Structure formats: C-alpha cells, structure tokens
Chains A and B, each alone.
Chain A
Amino acid sequence: GIQVEQSPPDLILQEGANSTLRCNFSDSVNNLQWFHQNPWGQLINLFYIPSGTKQNGRLSATTVATERYSLLYISSSQTTDSGVYFCAVEGNYGGSQGNLIFGKGTKLSVKP
C-alpha cells in the first residue's frame, strides 16, 4: 500500500517564526488532506489539496502530485498553532481507494 512520510517529526518554533512541513507519498493519489490535531485531540481540516496551491490566512499548502509530495507553510506562527499536523492521502487503486492513509505527523510546539 501507499506509504506516507512526514518531516520533520518534531519542530519547536518561537512565536512569529515561519515553518515548512513536508509530506512525501509513495504512489499516485486521488486526494490529499492536511489536518491539525489540537492539544485537545480535535482533528481540524486545514486543506483538501490533491494538486496545486491553496492559501487560508497564515497557512498555505502546495501539492506537486507528479513528484509525490506536499508542503504545508505556516507563517508568523502563534502559540495556538501548536499541536500535531497530519498529512493523509487517498490512493487511486486497490485496497486504499476511497480511504485515507495517514502519516505519523509533525508535532509543532510554538513558544511565546
């Protein structure tokens, strides 16, 4: 099945700094989503981005499907950005079709 690798596994930032999180996947995908899991465990949808670039406030994401990676950019980080960021992909064949395969996440800590 599809493998999803996220890097870095851990990231510590000072408030106001910028960061880039990376997601590599091993095969072609139908869909890709980025989630933020906050310290209370809620999974919040950030982007649905199978290809191209999207922006939402201080966050933006780019997926280059042909090269099998996606990037999540966080600018001017705030303490409320802390938590775990997950990338998840939906394969386009076989057993993974229609189902999300999650990476292990990037744990972000933003210090005041």
Chain B
Amino acid sequence: NAGVTQTPKFRVLKTGQSMTLLCAQDMNHEYMYWYRQDPGMGLRLIHYSVGEGTTAKGEVPDGYNVSRLKKQNFLLGLESAAPSQTSVYFCASKVSGEQYFGPGTRLTVT
C-alpha cells in the first residue's frame, strides 16, 4: 500500500512547453484533488474529481486541465506553461472525510 504517489518529483519547463503530472492512489478512494502551494501560503485547490470520469474546477483552475480515466489515477496537464505556474503541486485523495496527500511535485517554469 503505497498511499498517494506523484510523478515526477521535480521538473523544469520553459515557457510555452506542456507537461502532465501523474497522481496515483492504491486505496480505492473515490475523491481526488490537485492543489498548488506558493511560498508562504497554504494550499489552493486547482481541480478535483468525485469519481472515475468526472472532474470539476476548484479555486484556481485557469491554465490547467485534468482527467480521471481510471479510478486510481488523476492527471494534471499544463498545455502552455507560464512562469506564474512555478509552484509545488500536491495531489490528495479522500476517504471518510479525511484527505491524504502525496509527496508533491516541484515545478519551475523559466
């Protein structure tokens, strides 16, 4: 039982490049979330999913897209990266009201 895992751990992109962050959970949780954390801040919700095939926007969705084709995976895509998307990205899954977080992906856009 690995919990929530994220791939990759670190990435540097140039402005305009695209990439996909992968979140995987092996706990059969229905709910999954993508957050971003900027320096000195708490986490802010980007997108979330309440089950396979469903996604919804969070507080800061602009510039991101998501997909949940399989229950255990939640993908976060950046189609055209911007310096403002430099951040640490956390994925989480939820069961019985409690959210569990992955280790994070540190993304730098130059």
Q: A residues bordering B, Cβ < 8 Å?
A: 4, 30-31, 33, 35, 41-43, 45, 48, 50, 86, 88, 90, 98-100, 102-105
Per the bound structure, the CA–CA distance linking A4 and B100 in Å amounts to: 20
Closest CB of chain A to B64's CB: distance in Å? 15
With contacts defined as CB atoms under 8 Å apart, how many contacts are there between chain A and chain B in the complex?
49
Per DSSP, chain A at the interface is strand
In this complex, the interface size class of chain B, counting residues with CB under 8 Å from chain A, is 20 to 34
Contacts of A4 in B (CB 8 A): 42
Contact B97 A90 (CB under 8 A): yes
In the assembled complex, 12 residue pairs joining A and B whose CB atoms fall closer than 8 Å, in A order, are: A4-B42, A41-B88, A45-B98, A45-B100, A45-B101, A88-B99, A98-B94, A99-B48, A100-B33, A100-B45, A102-B44, A105-B42
Closest CB of chain B to A86's CB: distance in Å? 6
> Which residue of chain B has its CB nearest to the CB of A31?
B97
CB of B90 closer than 8 Å to a CB of A = yes
> Which residue of chain B has its CB nearest to the CB of A4?
B42
Contacts of A43 in B (CB 8 A): 90, 101, 104
> Which residue of chain B has its CB nearest to the CB of A45?
B100
Contact A102 B58 (CB under 8 A): no
Per-residue CB contact flags for chain B residues 92-109 toward chain A (1 = under 8 Å, else 0) read 101001111101101000
Per the bound structure, the CA–CA distance linking A30 and B47 in Å amounts to: 20
**Known A-B contacts A30-B97, A33-B98, A90-B97; A100 and B43 likewise in contact (beta carbons under 8 Å):** yes
Which of B42, B58, B88, B103 has a CB less than 8 Å from the CB of A99? B58
Contacts of B97 in A (CB 8 A): 30-31, 48, 50, 90
> Which residue of chain A has its CB nearest to the CB of B102?
A43
Contacts of B48 in A (CB 8 A): 98-99
**Closest CB pairs A-B (n = 6):** A102-B42, A43-B101, A48-B98, A31-B97, A102-B43, A99-B45
Contacts of A48 in B (CB 8 A): 97-98
> Which residue of chain A has its CB nearest to the CB of B41?
A104
Contacts of A31 in B (CB 8 A): 97-98
Contact B100 A99 (CB under 8 A): no
